Amino acid sequence: MEIRESAENYLETILMLNRERGSVRSVDIATKLGFSKPSVSVAMKNLRENGYVLTDPDGVITLTGKGLEVAEKMYRRHVVLTKGLTRLGVPPEIAEEDACRIEHIISEETFEAISSHFKE
């Protein structure tokens, strides 16, 4: 099953919030992404049904192994691309935004070539 860009963004956000806070709830995701709580709730339901996240009775969201794999891949791409663009002279804010878009569309081969070039 191919995962959509929006799902990749949610999974990456869960990973980042978990690293920052230790636990993640839908409200944290909504705040971070600027989305409505109902939109996040629908997304979490879809991610749960597809085996990417688990939600405990207290509403704490955790990544499954499958979800963690996607999240870490996207996070690595984001970091490498942001650093690479910044090294090329792109202002940090623009590099961050562009990396967020690029990370979803480039092939694994292209990403690895970029990563090798910047020795990440």
Average pLDDT score, the chain: 93
Q: Where are the alpha helices (DSSP H) in the chain?
A: 5-21, 26-33, 37-49, 65-87, 92-102, 108-117
Q: Which domains does the chain have, with CATH numbers?
A: 5-67 (1.10.10.10), 70-117 (1.10.60.10)
pTM of the model: 0.88
**pLDDT value of residue 1:** 46
Average the pLDDT over 102-117 and give the result: 93
Predicted confidence (pLDDT) per residue in 28-67, tens digit: 999 999 999 999 999 999 999 999 999 999 999 999 999 9
For residue 109, the cross-strand partners are none
